[in-house]
Structure 1
Amino acid sequence: MNRQQFMLAMEIHLRPMEPQERAELLADYDQHFELGLREGRLEEEIARELGQPEEIAKEALGERYDMYTPGTDAFYAPTYREMRSPRNSARATRNFFTAVGLLFLNLMLGIPIGLTLWSVWLTLASLSLLVLAPVAAVVDFVFLGQLEKPEIFVAIGAFGVGICFAIASKYVFRAFKNTTLQYIQWNKNTMKGDVSA
């Protein structure tokens, strides 16, 4: 239970109390959170240390404490329902089928197409290694002692082609990275049920 949940539960359980008295008591508990957070502690840890809101309310109200739980008493029910998120089985079912559908979509299309695109980039990146052709020509000259004119021209040409592939692979990498991140975000939004994204 975090700070907001704890304070809302306290407010609900302390409704039979006079407004001024309730405000003072809530301010005291809010102050506990402030001090704990300044000490670097987590909200959940502070809430655990303070105890259960129902028990605190029972002790503070004494005879005024209502035996009914806030979920069943008409006096508490509207706000208590706001505090507790309703369990929605339809949403769980929708999430399950959405996850299954996304799994099949990704296995049949997303992953194969993604791997194909990234293999194109890998090919371009590996072709950019042609920039090392002059190094190979120099090594050939040093160890074999011969360097012919056609070999020099081929090395210079391969160097230029390698630079072109390096530049192309840079732009292709950016495009594929953005496409991949957008696809992953679309999967997340679909799972959340955000169809507008």
Structure 2
Amino acid sequence: MNKEHFLIELKIYLKPLTAQQQAFILEKYDNIFDERLANGEMEEEIAKDLGKPRTIAEEILEEFDITVPEKRLERDGWQEIPPATSYEYYEETAEHPYDQAYQSYERPKHNGFVRFCQISGVILLNFLLMFWFIFSFAMLLFSGWFAAILFLFSPILGGISIFTGLNDASMFEMFVSVFLCGAGIIGLLILAPLTRFFGKVLKRYMLWNIRVLRGDI
């Protein structure tokens, strides 16, 4: 199931809600898809991880105290939740987290001591531990890339040694350079996904730091 199919099916199951509430929920899941797609995930993988749209809709409807009816199969093959029969219900429950008035995110309110502990803890964690860990791993990756690239171009030196003088030593050097070239190719195949993984983890860690310093957590 791709993103478009997921959102269409979710919208169908959210019919008991108002158009405004549906739009907010659909925008939320659309943003989830965009953020995870930006991190390199596939649409089918994201949809599978989020779960079935009907299950998500049922959980949301339960938050509104809407009784989920029995599943019934429509002619077109969709399992649809019929719309609510009364409009007075929505007027009584207008102040719900999915309404327009609650769309803006409000940061949790912490006292000064808690904020001091949060900021101090993040700073100490970064300078005493995480900075050295990240620096060491980054240098390790840099060294690996540098060595792999050198190994990749090592046959050039072997070829030069053969052209300058063909003997047993030059043939041995050529054999070693070809072996190192193969090792360099294998090294690049290992380092490429490892570097991408390190970049994703580092990005998420930096975002977590920003959220803590801003007081979002």
Instruction: Please report the TM-score for the alignment, with normalisation by the length of structure 1.
Output: 0.48
Higher Rg: 1
Instruction: Please report the TM-score for the alignment, with normalisation by the length of structure 2.
Output: 0.44
Which structure: greater helix fraction? 1
